[in-house]
């Protein structure tokens, strides 16, 4: 209680990804030999505890938040909450599974390349990836400091957005150089959708890939139609050129930006502790091989792509994409750990590079709350420019 008023999250149970500090609980980042005992909680965690949330545990992850698959952990692959054999997605695998399985009400994850969105899609829940810097990343083991975001998993968009807003109210710390505030005249808080029909950007059919899943195009089209039907003023479709977004996505894994992972944990990984995941170790160590000049080359290319993508936001209110082309099996990841991981980032990798906000929503059959036996429901990601968090939550919240 605060001044006689109920706390907004009173009694709500919260799980925390194990690369985010919780006071007095070891932070391992999925690598027990890396463990340390933080004296204080990360600001995002503390803000939720102050709002009444009860932290019940830490969750498994792709080691050092390096992966979108949920299988790169010395504790073993994190199983999908509902569909045996399918990946749970990563790197925030345990956080998404804990919410989807009903173990907790809410969970915090992190998102650099899609780790707050891919697991939401794989487990049929909501994932909110706030504007970069809106939530503090102090007290978070970094993956790529300049891209990392704290993300939220919940069963509804309304609750996830409310949690993000509470976490965003945490005070700014001196050791938090990537934190920022909304520019004057803008807000990331809940905002009503335009009274006129929404302008929804969608790529051409030819620009989309579902990695061979024949039902993918029809599932995506049906999900978009359901999203539009839920909007009170309707919507109009605007075809969007996905090329600059896709090119930016390719830079994240194919360019020098991955070198930031070596800066974060490279020295520790190079010491070769016995509990390193071999795929994670290979990625982090290879990140050291990028020459310094390549970073400036890729920064220039990213700036060029950002300029090419910018006119999109004059033409549309938001962009709607499949969250993932498809949800693969754990066996597929074992056979091709790099290729399958890259496929999962097709529609997620560009978001933080281009400084965008995103909300991921499951689109269940009309009137159904049951877990579909055939696999995860279609998952859409609503993408908008920085500080469009409120609009995305309003639109997505009408369907999930």
Residues forming the active site: 17, 91, 115
Quote the CA–CA distance of 88 and 14 in Å, as a whole number.
19
**Cβ atoms of 123 and 88 closer than 8 Å:** yes
Cis before 91 (ω within 30)? yes
Quote the CA–CA distance of 211 and 222 in Å, as a whole number.
18
Quote the CA–CA distance of 395 and 377 in Å, as a whole number.
18
Nearest to 30 by CA among 58, 69, 1: 58
Nearest to 203 by CA among 236, 234, 237, 251: 237
DSSP for residue 61: -
Tokens 């070596």 correspond to what residue? 262
Instruction: Calculate the CA dihedral of residues 157, 98, 351, 184 and round it to 10 degrees.
Output: 50
Calculate the CA 219 to chain-centre distance.
22
Quote the CA–CA distance of 99 and 15 in Å, as a whole number.
8
Quote the CA–CA distance of 358 and 321 in Å, as a whole number.
10
Nearest to 143 by CA among 98, 106, 109, 93: 109
**Cα separations (Å) of 177 from 6, 133, 187, 303?**
33, 9, 21, 21
**Cβ atoms of 309 and 245 closer than 8 Å:** yes
* End-to-end CA separation in angstroms for the chain: 29
Buried b / exposed e over 168-189, threshold 16 CB at 10 Å, is: bebeeeeebeebeebeeeeebe
């Amino acid at each position: 209680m605060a001044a006689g008023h109920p706390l907004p999250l009173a009694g709500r149970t919260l799980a925390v990804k194990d690369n985010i500090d919780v006071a007095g609980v070891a932070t391992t980042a999925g690598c027990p030999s890396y463990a340390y005992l933080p004296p204080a909680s990360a600001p995002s965690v503390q803000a939720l505890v102050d709002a009444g949330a009860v932290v019940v545990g830490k969750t498994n992850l792709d080691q050092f938040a390096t992966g979108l698959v949920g299988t790169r952990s010395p504790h073993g692959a994190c199983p999908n909450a509902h569909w045996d054999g399918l990946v749970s997605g990563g790197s925030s695998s345990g956080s998404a599974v804990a919410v989807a399985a009903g173990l907790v009400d809410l969970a915090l994850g992190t998102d650099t390349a899609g780790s707050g969105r891919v697991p939401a899609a794989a487990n049929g829940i909501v994932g909110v990836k706030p504007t970069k810097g809106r939530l503090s990343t102090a007290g978070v083991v970094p993956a790529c400091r300049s891209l990392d975001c704290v993300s939220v998993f919940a069963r509804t968009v309304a609750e996830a957005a409310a949690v993000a807003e509470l976490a965003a109210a945490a005070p700014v710390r001196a050791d938090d150089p990537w934190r920022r505030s909304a520019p004057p005249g803008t807000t990331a808080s809940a905002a009503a959708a335009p009274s006129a029909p929404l302008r929804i950007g969608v790529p051409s059919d030819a620009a989309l890939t579902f990695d061979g899943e024949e039902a993918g195009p029809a599932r995506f089209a049906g999900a978009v139609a359901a999203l539009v039907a839920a909007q009170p003023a309707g919507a109009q479709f605007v075809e969007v050129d996905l090329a600059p977004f896709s090119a930016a996505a390719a830079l994240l894994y194919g360019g020098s930006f991955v070198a930031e992972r070596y800066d974060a944990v490279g020295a520790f990984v190079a010491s070769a502790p016995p509990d390193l995941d071999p795929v994670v170790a290979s990625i982090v160590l290879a990140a050291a091989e990028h020459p310094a000049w390549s970073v400036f080359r890729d920064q220039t290319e990213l700036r060029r792509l950002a300029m090419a993508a910018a006119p999109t936001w004059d033409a549309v209110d938001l962009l709607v994409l499949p969250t993932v082309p498809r949800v693969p099996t754990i066996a597929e990841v074992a056979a091709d750990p790099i290729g399958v991981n890259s496929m999962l980032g097709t529609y997620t990798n560009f978001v933080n590079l281009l400084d965008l906000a995103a909300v991921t929503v499951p689109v269940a059959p009309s009137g159904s709350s049951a877990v579909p036996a055939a696999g995860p429901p279609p998952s859409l990601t609503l993408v908008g420019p920085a500080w469009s968090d409120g609009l995305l939550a309003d639109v997505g919240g009408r369907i999930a």
